[in-house]
Copies of this chain bind each other. A is one copy, B any other.
Amino acid sequence: MAKTKDENTEEQILVAAKTVFQTKGMDGARMQHIADEAGINKAMLHYYFRSKQLLFEAVFNQAFSLLAPQLNIILNDESSIEDKVKNFTVNYTTFMMKHPYLPNFIIQELNRNEDFIVKLKENTGFPNLDKFKAQVDAEINDGLLNPIDADQLFVNIIALNIFPFLGKPLIKAFTNKDEQDYETFVESRKTEVANFIINSIKPH
């Protein structure tokens, strides 16, 4: 084969590494596997990223920086809590259906190495709950919402939206759904989850 210089080997490596790390995890991933996936020599991985650890961190940070803006929909948007819940649920689910390995990857690796989150918190753009909490408290005060702790509400919203992607194999087994059924099921959660939450927090 002719050895034409590739436009961007580094990018190819990142794409391949993302695929392998997100499906196998840090411990299960193999450098040779990533090289094969990228169609390049294994030494290139070290040439561009020095070590498995640094390549992993590049992939992880990229993944996290994809997730963070999604959360800011619910944290820093100007609309009412009700609208934010509706928007977040449909946006987040749509986004995750396109990146189904992302939530599990992040959760899994943060559990494997808790120190990891410390570095993330130092980054600007790390999701901050202050505004959301103030807004929840204000809307409760105005009688627009039933009393609820803002942290609890936040966790409930996240839980209901993320869990279908984390627990997919388990849910599929419990509910006897095949791949197609499951997609339909998740699709319908785009409105179902928002209704469920709003029904609970809004006075009638």
Given contacts A24-B27, A163-B159, contact A111 B168 (CB under 8 A): yes
Given contacts A27-B24, A197-B200, contact A155 B129 (CB under 8 A): no
Q: Which of B127, B158, B163, B192 meets A162, CB within 8 Å?
A: B163
**Which chain B positions have C-beta within 8 A of A155?**
163-164, 167, 171, 175
User: How many copies are assembled?
Assistant: 2
**Which chain B positions have C-beta within 8 A of A27?**
24-25, 27-28
Q: Is the CB of A174 within 8 A of B154?
A: yes
Q: Which of A146-204 contact B (CB under 8 A)?
A: 146, 148-149, 151-152, 154-156, 158-160, 162-164, 166-177, 185, 188-189, 192-193, 196-197, 199-201, 204
Compute how far the CA of A170 lies from the CA of B175 in the bound complex, rounded to whole angstroms: 28
**Which 4 residue pairs across A and B have the least CB separation, nearest first?**
A159-B163, A200-B200, A27-B27, A27-B28
Taking A129-B174, A152-B192 as known contacts, 14 extra A-B pairs with beta carbons closer than 8 A to each other, sorted by chain A number, are: A24-B112, A25-B108, A25-B112, A106-B170, A107-B170, A111-B168, A121-B173, A151-B175, A155-B167, A155-B175, A159-B160, A166-B166, A199-B200, A204-B204
19 A-B pairs, CB-CB below 8 angstroms? A24-B27, A25-B108, A26-B28, A27-B27, A28-B112, A104-B107, A106-B170, A107-B170, A114-B169, A121-B173, A129-B174, A146-B199, A151-B185, A152-B188, A155-B175, A156-B196, A159-B162, A166-B166, A199-B200
